[in-house]
Every structure is written in C-alpha cells, then in structure tokens.
Structure 1
Amino acid sequence: MKRFAKAVVFAVGMSLAMGSMAAEKLDPALQAVTKEKFDDQAAAIRQQMKAGGRWEFVDTAERAQVNTRLDEIAALLAKSNSVDEMSREDKGKLLEAQEDVNAVLTKKDGRRLICQQVAPTGSNRKQKQCSTFAERERQRRDARDFLRSTGDDGVRTN
C-alpha cells in the first residue's frame, strides 16, 4: 500500500511538472518513446554538446552524467523496444534517467533567454535587457581570457 501511495504521489507530481512545462512551452531535449527515436535523439544530444552546439557549455562532469544516463536509457530500451512494453520498474528508471538528462540540458541550454532589469549609467530608470545563456557565457569567457592575456589577475596593490 505504501508503495502504491508513493507511485500515486510521483505520478501526480510528474503530471503537474509536465503541465507546468507545457504551459511554459518548454521543449524537453529528450523524450524516449521508442528505441529508434531515442537513438536519433541521443546522437543529436551528443553532437550538440560539442563546441558550437546548443549545449556546448555543459561541463565535463555534467557531460559524463548525461552520457551515462543516455547509455542507461539505451540499455532499458534494448530490453523492450518501446516504453509501452516496459515493466513499471523499468519505466521508473527510464523516467528518472530522462529527467536527469533534461535537467542538465535545460540548465545549460544555449538558447535559454535570461532577462534582467538594469539601470543604465546616469539613470535610475531600469530597462529590461535580455540575452541567451550562450551569449552570456561567451561574454564571460571572453572577459576572463582578456584579463588573463593582459596579466591583470584582479589583485590591486597600493
């Protein structure tokens, strides 16, 4: 009975989470349904994690996690060709792995728009400035590289 209650709570939570995602029109990177579709998605994700790709800013540890979870999903789908044919236990494992992958990719999505209110110099009136995650990361990387090239380590002496 306890196990059933946990499953119901999990299912309700997932439906609420999926509902909120649909309301925000988020496009999950990974939705494993069949082995063939998953193989195509996994290949595209791995390709887009390379330099210049949508998820190029995924760090080494996150990349290893995503690759491990993609391999786990592939193994689960190898046992049964589609999610509909899986046991409840395997469906749970697949969903957990899929959520882990989507969490990392959503956080590091280069297309994700980030907006903030900024007051221009000399003004107290804030304006909304938006840029993508990739633009911000490139600016941060370029600033860091510039400081390194000029030898300015940020330490000031008087």
Structure 2
Amino acid sequence: MKRIAKFAVVAFSLFLSFNVCAAEKKLDPALQATNKEKFEDQSAAIRQQMKTGGRWEFVNAQERGQVEARLDEIAGLMAKVNTVEELSEDDRLKMYVAQEDVNAILTKKDGRRLICESTAPTGSNRKVKVCITYAERERNRKATSDQIFRNKRDGDNLQRK
C-alpha cells in the first residue's frame, strides 16, 4: 500500500512539473488576426521581421513564399469585412487554417525559441544542460560551416603551391 501511495505522489509531482515547464516555454503565436486593422499591423510586422536581423530571419525562401502566400490569402478574406466574426463559416475556417500554417512556420524558425540540450563536457560523464536560442544556434552553425569552407579552400591553395 505504501508503494502505491509513493508512486501516486511521484507521478502527481512529475505531472505538475511537466505542466509548469510546458507553460513557461510556450511562445505567443505570431499571428492572431481578430480584425482587419490588427491583421494589417501583424502582417507588416511579420514581413519586416523575416528580413535579416529580424526575429524570423532564418525562414528559408520556400517557407517565406508560403508565409507570404498565406498572409495574402488572409488579406483577401479580411478585405471583405472588418472583423473575423463577420466572415462566413467557410471563410473563417480558411482564415484559421492559413493563420495556423503561418504560425507553424514562424514558431519553428523563431530566433527567440530556446533550445536546451544535456551534454557531457569533454572529460566528464556528468551531463550539463546547455540552452541557447535558435538564432544563436543558426549563427554558430553558419560560422562553423564558413570556417570549414575557408580551411578547405586554404588547404587546397597550399597543395597547389
């Protein structure tokens, strides 16, 4: 009986801790259009932040095209009305699907998104939790790739001499 009680306490504690962690790491969606004016402001901000140095600068060309097409689709739907509630049920569904597509792409490529990994430093078996933002990770990846390319190019030049 004591085992069952201990198990229940541990399970409940884990359940609470997972819920707290999930709530802390949730990012706000980029796009939540409720009226025409709010949508226009949000879409302009999204387009601006997809440029170099912005929050979503790491969105690739294909994803950028999808986001632009979906924003244009929502703009077309919102051009007819002032608020989402005025849309027909079919148009409202189309708008929500397009909005979710935009949010899915932007959430995946959000430069503010925190990525945590447990790694063991060299010479140690004890794992350490290391957290960096998506933007830092992508900049580090690009810098490493550029350095490897330069090293290869310089090595090829030395062999030719």
> What band does the TM-score fall into relative to the shorter chain?
0.7 to 0.9
Matched residue of 1:79: which SS? coil
* CA distance in 2 between partners of 1:60 and 1:111 (Å): 20
Q: In structure 1, what is the equivalent of residue 28 of structure 2?
A: 27
After superposition, residues 79-158 of structure 1 pair within 5 angstroms as: 79-151=80-152
Question: TM-score, normalization: structure 2?
Answer: 0.79
Name the aligned partner's letter for residue 140 of structure 1.
R
Name the aligned partner's letter for residue 150 of structure 2.
S
Q: In structure 2, what is the equivalent of residue 39 of structure 1?
A: 40
Q: In structure 2, what is the equivalent of residue 5 of structure 1?
A: none
Shift of 1:144: 0.5
* CA distance in 2 between partners of 1:133 and 1:105 (Å): 12
Q: Where does structure 1 differ by over 4 angstroms across 4 or more consecutive aligned residues?
A: 21-24
* CA distance in 2 between partners of 1:119 and 1:24 (Å): 24
* CA distance in 2 between partners of 1:64 and 1:102 (Å): 14
Q: Deviations over 1:90-128 (max 9, x none)?
A: 000000000000000000000000000000111100000
Listed as ranges, the gaps of 5+ residues in structure 2 are 1-21, 154-161
Shift of 1:26: 2.5
* CA distance in 2 between partners of 1:150 and 1:141 (Å): 14
Question: TM-score, normalization: structure 1?
Answer: 0.80
Q: Deviations over 1:9-65 (max 9, x none)?
A: xxxxxxxxxxxx978542000001111110000000000000000000000000000
Residues paired across the two proteins, number: 133
- 2:115–2:134 contact (8 Å) kept in structure 1: yes
- 2:27–2:113 contact (8 Å) kept in structure 1: no
Listed as ranges, the gaps of 5+ residues in structure 1 are 1-20, 153-158
Matched residue of 1:139: which SS? helix
Shift of 1:80: 1.3
The change in CA–CA distance for 1:94 and 1:23 in structure 2 (over 3 A counts) is farther
* CA distance in 1 between partners of 2:40 and 2:138 (Å): 29
Name the aligned partner's letter for residue 143 of structure 1.
T
* CA distance in 1 between partners of 2:136 and 2:152 (Å): 24
* CA distance in 1 between partners of 2:121 and 2:151 (Å): 27
Name the aligned partner's letter for residue 131 of structure 1.
I
Is 2:67 aligned against 1:66?
yes
